[in-house]
Structure formats: structure tokens, C-alpha cells
Structure 1
Amino acid sequence: MKKIILFDLDGTLIDSTEAILESFYHSLNTHKEVTDVSDSMITSQIGHTLETMFLGLGVREERVAEHVATYKLYYREIACQKTLMLPNAIEAIEEASEFARLGIVTTKTGVYSRELMEYFGIMKYFEVLIGFEDVTHKKPHPEPILTALEKMKSNTQNVWMIGDTRLDLECSHHAGIDAIGVLSGYDNFEQLSTFDFIIQRDVLEAVRTIAKERIK
């Protein structure tokens, strides 16, 4: 039985920080409701849903939906040009595909995420991509991982999640699978150490660690 590796996107495989920040500022400037927002206020929330992030920036609940809609329209226009694959990410995907079945589990919109993966020529490596619209409950709830495994017709044995935030690790914990935290993204070592999982420098190190693990 082959292993399964599920990857987060932002901070794990891709760096879309510039596109995210620009899209947030575009929405905030368009609706002129909240001022005095800093880059760190936005990036510290990456991994959460857009709704949660806008609420965290002080947008009133009744205005969140229009902020999200404005963000998404703008983000889709700039995402491909202002997103980068993280160092070693493509190599990690290629190596992982030699011994494991692969999937993506992200809180980003699935449609846009697929467009990004096609743009970089790597969607062909993944059997599934679970995005925001594919689940009712987002990370850290286990539903995104369990939905991916259901589509892959797999149980939770020999399954790994690789992600850069506590949300990824907590989601893995609740789903009952192994996980590796990577330091290429938005949470630091101390934050990821909240969970009793392996922590590696980047996704390539994580993939190579999984490759050495015996199938259970």
C-alpha cells in the first residue's frame, strides 16, 4: 500500500504573500472601512479563512462578504504573476510522487488553487485538491483531510500532512494522521512545537523524512 502525502499550499509549496497582501489592501482601500492595517497583521493570520482574516482586521461582520468578494476578484487577476514556488518545492513534489499518492489540502479557494497549480505545471502530480468550497468546516477541523482521503478512497493509515502552520498540524491531529511542520512559511518553531510532530526546514526535507518511514 502506497503512502499518501497531503500538502498545504501557502508557506508550504508556494509563496503568495505579495498577492495576498496586495489583494487585502485593495479590498480595504476599496471599501474604506478599516485603516492602520500592517503587513504583519495580515500575514499572522494566513491559513485562516478570508472571512476570519477580515474580521481579525476589524471589518464589521455585515461587511465581510463584500470585502471577500472584492479580494477574490483582484487576487485572481494577479495571483499567477505574483506567486512563487518555494525553494525545493517542485523537487519535493517530484520525489514524493515516486513513492506516494499526493493531494493538496488548503483553505484557499480550490478553483484558484487549481489554476495556480496548472500555471506552474504541477497539478498533474496530485489526485485531489481540497479547497475552501469543498468543505463545511475548515482547518483545524479534520474535515478537509478526511474529505481528501474519502476522494482518494483511503483510510487514515500511512497518511502524512505537510504544512507550515498550527492549523495544519491541529487538523492532522484531529484527523488521526501523521504530520510534519515546515519552517518555510508563517509559523515559527515555537508555534509549531505546540504539537508533537516532526518539524523540518522545508518541504523537501519533510518529503525525504517520510520516504524513510516504513509503511505501517
Structure 2
Amino acid sequence: MKTIILFDLDGTLIDSTKAILESFSVAFESFNKPVPDQEKIKSLIGYPLDVMFISLGIEEEIADNFVQEYKKHYRKISCQKTILLPSAESAVKKASEFARLGIVTTKTGRYSRELLEHLNLMQYFEILIGREDVINPKPHPEPILKALEYMNVKDETCWMIGDTLLDVQSAKSANITPIALTCGYGKKEELCDSCEHIVENVFSAIEIIDEKKA
């Protein structure tokens, strides 16, 4: 019986900050709106795009217009302006030796697959659940439960690795064990208050899981 490990994407396996910030700038400029402070944008990474735009002051009824402009630009530049985080590749390869793997992200699934294929990692994952695959994104348990259902999980030990409180809350609601990373976009204080396992990077998370299974 293999362990199940689900991964978040941004701030966990990849760094697409440059592509995200540039795409937000393009979206705001397309509608002649002032571009928000970059730190404010970065603090919202992990939430769905519509939630991010609304939190940045865009009216709910027109937020989707900004999302579409964002996506149009993001798709053009995402592969060129996204890199793997240090140790991400080795972590995924190590995990694949003893576990079945999946991705659960609030990014658009289509673009996420393209990114992972570009980075030569997609072949390690059985399932990728993106924003368009669920009604309720993280912190709701639906994305995780949908991934586990697809993987036909029964009695396997399941883990969720992510860098934000959304990942931790989603995992807990789905009754699986979270590991929080401090290398991403989440606030360390919040993560420490909500999660038993806190590590610096994804490779350290895989080491914990490997030790626990033994």
C-alpha cells in the first residue's frame, strides 16, 4: 500500500512570482487602473484569481474581465518566467519512489499542466486538480477530496504539502495530514499556529513523510 502525497504548486514546487506580478500589471493597465503594490499582490497568491482581484479593489461584477486579461498574458509568459524551487525536482523524484503523487492548486489546471510539462515533472503525477475542476477551491476540502476520489484512495496514508494557510485548512477539512512550508507565500506565524509539521522546503517535507512511513 503506497502513501499518497498531494502538492500545492506556487510557493511549494514552483516560483512563478515574476509571471504573476507581470500579468496582474497588464490586467490593471488594460483597464486604466493603478497597479497595486507588489507585496499586496504576493500576499494573496494561493487564492483564486477572482478573489485576488476583488481583494485588490476590483468590483465583483467586473472581476472576471480582469481575470481574462490576466490569463491571456500569463499563458504567453508563464513557461519562460517560472522556475522550479530549489530541491523541488529531487523532492518529487524521491517521493515517486514510495508514494503516489497528485497536484492540488487554485491555478488554472490547463496552464499548470503546461508548466509542469515544460519543467519535465508532469509525468510523476497521477492527477492535477485546478481551479476549473471544482466549485469550491481551497480552503474548502473539495479539491483534495476530488483528487483522492480520482486516485481511488481507500486506506492509504495521505499528506498535503503546501505553503499557505489555505493548504493546511483544506487538508485538515479533508482529514489528511498537512505539512506547511516556509519557503512560499504564507505567513510563518500563521502556519506555526495551525500546523504540526513546519519545514523550510518541499524536500524536507518528503523526508518527514518517508521517515513516518518507516
TM-score band by shorter chain is over 0.9
| Aligned length, in residue pairs | 214
- Counterpart residue identity of residue 94, structure 2: E
- Give the CA deviation at 1:36: 5.4
Runs (5+) with no aligned partner, structure 1: none
Give the stretch that moved more between structures: 72-81 or 193-202: 193-202
Q: Is the counterpart of residue 78 in structure 1 residue 77 in structure 2?
A: yes
Tell me the SS of whatever aligns to 1:213. helix
- Give the CA deviation at 1:196: 3.2
Aligned to 1:41: 40
Give the stretch that moved more between structures: 56-65 or 75-84: 56-65
- Give the CA deviation at 1:193: 1.5
Give, in whole Å, the separation in 1 of the partners of 2:80 and 2:146: 30
Tell me the SS of whatever aligns to 1:179. strand
Aligned to 1:140: 139
Once the two structures are superposed, residues 71-130 of structure 1 have per-residue CA deviations (whole angstroms, 9 ceiling, x without a partner) of: 001000000000010000000000000000000000000000000000011100000000
Once the two structures are superposed, residues 45-91 of structure 1 have per-residue CA deviations (whole angstroms, 9 ceiling, x without a partner) of: 00000000000110111210110000001000000000010000000
- Counterpart residue identity of residue 182, structure 1: L
Give, in whole Å, the separation in 2 of the partners of 1:114 and 1:39: 26
Give the stretch that moved more between structures: 146-155 or 185-194: 185-194
Aligned to 2:28: 28
- Give the CA deviation at 1:214: 2.8
Give, in whole Å, the separation in 1 of the partners of 2:195 and 2:155: 18
Runs (5+) with no aligned partner, structure 2: none
Q: Is the counterpart of residue 11 in structure 1 residue 11 in structure 2?
A: yes
Give, in whole Å, the separation in 2 of the partners of 1:122 and 1:140: 25
After the TM superposition, list the runs of 4 or more consecutive aligned residues in structure 1 that deviate by more than 2 angstroms.
none
Give, in whole Å, the separation in 1 of the partners of 2:86 and 2:62: 37
Percentage identity across paired residues of the two chains? 51
1:116-135 correspondence runs (5 A) = 116-135=115-134
Aligned to 1:111: 110
For the aligned residues, what is the CA RMSD?
Answer: 1.1
Tell me the SS of whatever aligns to 1:6. strand
Tell me the SS of whatever aligns to 1:41. helix
Tell me the SS of whatever aligns to 1:111. helix
- Give the CA deviation at 1:149: 0.3
